Structures are given as structure tokens and as C-alpha cells.
Structure 1
Amino acid sequence: MVPRPEGPQPRPHALPQTTEDDIDAVDEQLLALLQANGRASYAELARQVGLSAPAVHERVGKLETAGVITGYTAVVDPSAVGLGVTALVGIIDSDEVDDVGMLEAMSALPQVQDCWRTAGTEGYVLKVRVTDIPALEDTINALNRVRGVSRTRTTVVLSTKWEGRHGRTE
């Protein structure tokens, strides 16, 4: 297995920017395989797409350089690290909304794992992971104190059937 760096690495000689039109069926297959298993070796990827390992290495490098592949991560079971409660928290903006300040304040809370800017009543939706319900209450209280937050609306997740599309075909 070829070790992979944390994220895309700059190349000494920049390759042309990849556009959506430049991504062919083999690149799409490589992306699907890497999403299912980011630790797959170039040899394993090559076997599955019918190319040589050096050709796959070059293609993956181009996808990284172009920003199509933005990094490689480990998927961790939240309950295994003591985060037994997941909630989706909608942020309803006040008239004094300061997107930059709000984003800084929300990103400073380690309980906030994901943040989406949304259309509709809620300006943002956050995925929050905490140890228990009192910790969720503390997090919601902290979010409600952020300048620009009028109020929040929280949905507690009862169970997770799947997250992401790791290993799934659409």
C-alpha cells in the first residue's frame, strides 16, 4: 500500500486545472473507489480500473492538484469515542447577522462537526456531536449566545442508518 498524505500536496510543476469536462469515466471510477476506501493502494486501484499503478498515481495526483480530491480522512464511530448524542441544529439569523463572526464562533465549538449554509428559515444547519443531553443543552445555549443568532431549532438524531455514501453506489 502506498501511504497517502493528509491532504493534497502541491506539485512542483502545476498541472492544468481540471474541469468537470476533464473528468472521464475512469476518474469517476477512481473517485468512487477512493471514497469507499481512501487507503486503497495505487496497485489495487489500478487493478480495479484496468490501468497501471503509475497511470493511476498520475490521475489521482491530477485530481488532488485540481482540488477535486480535497483530503483523506479516517471515519470514526462517534459512540466509540464517547459522543453518544448527535443533533442537527438549525440557526435562525437575527437582523444583526455577521456571517464571518458567526462562522468563527460556530467553528470554535468543537462539538460542531459540520456546518451548511442553507436557504429558507434557517440560515445554517449544524451537525453537533456531544456526550449526553446536558452537553447538548450547553452547546445550544452557547450557540444562542452567538451574535447574529436569533434562535435555534434542534432535532436529536435517534439512530444513524448511514452517513456519507462510503461504499454505497447511487
Structure 2
Amino acid sequence: MAVPLADDTDRTLVAALGADGRATLKTLAGLTGLSVSAVQARVRRLEADGVITGYRALVDPEALGLPMAAFIAVTPLDPEHEYDIPERLAELSEIEECHSVAGEDSFL
């Protein structure tokens, strides 16, 4: 079930952290007009509620010598085992996303 954001301040915090996950509490306080401790409490609540699920670095694949991305259509050989495909693909570190799609193929 989706957790609604409490107010415009929550939306501001989520947007700011979405744009810069390393934004300091002081910076966020300046954006919202709240104290640093109030911002920290709100961010912790947003994390506890599952609105903010983590922080990560955005890596430039080309800087690592990986200049392309590939989309691969997957159709199971055995339709009875179609729904365990995402779990199996999750074991491969190279797979970043797996989406169920309509049509001839089952996953992309």
C-alpha cells in the first residue's frame, strides 16, 4: 500500500534527495525552512515508511569501459516455470532490471 507524503515539505525533501542523495541535512533544512533536527526526523520517517528505500551512486558505464546497454527479450522454455525467471536473473550481477511484458516474450 502506498504511503502518502504528509505535505509539501516531504515532497521537497524527496525531490531534493532524489536529485542529490548526498545533500546534507543542513542543505535540506535550508530548502525547507526547518531545523536540521526536524529534517533528520522527517528523513528517518520517510525511510521507515519505505518512501526512501536507499541511496546509491550513479556510475557512468562508459567510464568503466561499458559503452552500451542491452535489452534482451526472455521467453521461458517451460511455461510452468515462467514466474521464477526474475528470481533467477536477480542472481546475475550484470542484470540491473527485469520487467514483465505483454506479448510474445515474457520478460525484458
Task: Please name the residue that 1:75 is paired with.
Answer: 58
Task: Please name the residue that 1:27 is paired with.
Answer: 10
The alpha carbon displacement at 1:98 in A equals 3.6
The alpha carbon displacement at 1:91 in A equals 1.8
- Give RMSD over aligned pairs: 1.8
Structure 2 alignment gaps of length 5 or more: none
Give yes or no for the alignment of 1:90 onto 2:73. Answer: yes
Kindly provide the CA deviation profile for residues 32-65 of structure 1, in whole angstroms up to 9, marking residues without a partner as x.
Answer: 1001000000110010111111111111000000
Kindly provide the CA deviation profile for residues 76-133 of structure 1, in whole angstroms up to 9, marking residues without a partner as x.
Answer: 0011112122111122344233422x223212222211112233333222xxxxxxxx
- In structure 1, what is the Cα distance between the partners aligned to 2:33 and 2:72? 44
- In structure 1, what is the Cα distance between the partners aligned to 2:50 and 2:6? 12
| Alignment match of 1:42 (pick from 12, 16, 25) | 25
Task: Please name the residue that 2:83 is paired with.
Answer: 99
Larger RCO (alpha carbons 8 Å, 6+ apart): 1
Matches within 5 A, 1:8-157: 19-20=3-4, 22-94=5-77, 95-100=79-84, 102-125=85-108
Structure 1 alignment gaps of length 5 or more: 1-17, 126-170
Taking only the aligned residue pairs, the percentage that are identical comes to: 38
The structure with the largest strand share of the pair is: 1
- In structure 2, what is the Cα distance between the partners aligned to 1:49 and 1:55? 10
TM-score normalised to the size of structure 2?
0.85
* Conservation of the 8 A alpha-carbon contact between 2:3 and 2:51: no
Give the paired residue count: 106
TM-score normalised to the size of structure 1?
0.56
- In structure 2, what is the Cα distance between the partners aligned to 1:65 and 1:117? 28
- In structure 2, what is the Cα distance between the partners aligned to 1:87 and 1:24? 39
